Amino acid sequence: MPPNGLYERDFFEWVTMQAELLRTGKLSDLDLDHLTEEMEAIGRSQLHEVRRHLTKILRHLLRWKYLPELRTPAAAKALAAQRDELAAVLDSSPSLRAMVSETLPRAYQVGRDWVAQESGLQRLPHRCEWTDGEILDAEFLP
C-alpha cells in the first residue's frame, strides 16, 4: 500500500509510484480508490476539451456568418486552428466523436451567448444550424 496520505501531500510522487506499481505488476499495492478517481477525471477532462474546442469553433462560425465585417484571413486561420485542435483530440480518442453530438447543444449555447454579448447581436438562432459534419469540416464556412 502507498504511504498514507501521499496522494494529498505529493500528487506527482503518488502518480510516479502508481505507475511503477502497475509496471512491476504489484497490483495489490495500488491505491485503487484514488487511482479510480483520477482515471474518471481524465475522461471528464477529455470531454471538457472536446466541449471547449467545439464552443470556440461555433463562436468562429457564428461570427463568420453574422458579423461579415470580421471575415479576415486571421479569423479563418483561428477557426482552422480550433478545428485542428479538436481533430487531434478526436483522433487520439475516437470514442469521443460520439460526444460531439451530445455536447453540441451546450457548446452552441455558450458560443452563441458569447458572440451575442460581445457583439450586441440579438438575432442569433437559438439552435445550432449546422450539422456535426459541417462543424468539423475544415472547408466549411457558412
The answer as to whether 7 is a domain residue is: no
Name all contacts of 86-95 with Cβ < 8 Å and 24+ positions apart: 86/50, 86/53, 86/54, 86/57, 86/136, 87/136, 89/46, 89/49, 89/50, 89/53, 90/50, 93/46
Q: Does the predicted model carry a pTM greater than 0.95?
A: no
Q: Say what the pLDDT of residue 122 is.
A: 85
The answer as to whether 11 is a domain residue is: no
pLDDT in tens, 57-80: 999 999 999 999 999 999 999 999
- Mean pLDDT score, 79-96: 96
The answer as to whether 78 is a domain residue is: yes
Q: Say what the pLDDT of residue 3 is.
A: 55
For residue 83, the one-letter residue type is: R
Q: Say what the pLDDT of residue 124 is.
A: 95
Work out the percent of the chain whose per-residue pLDDT is above 70. 98
- Mean pLDDT score, 35-39: 94
The answer as to whether 121 is a domain residue is: yes
Q: Looking at residue 69, what DSSP letter applies?
A: G
Show Cβ contacts of residue 140 under 8 Å, excluding neighbours closer than 6 positions. 130, 134
Q: Look at residues 120, 136, 140 and name the one whose alpha carbon lies nearest to residue 88.
A: 136
Inform me whether the pLDDT recorded for 139 exceeds 50: yes
Q: Say what the pLDDT of residue 1 is.
A: 47
SS3 content of the chain, % helix, strand, coil (to 5): 75, 0, 25
The answer to whether residues 110 and 138 touch, using CB atoms and an 8 Å cutoff, is no
**Domain membership of residue 66 as a residue range:** 49-136
Domain count, the chain: 1
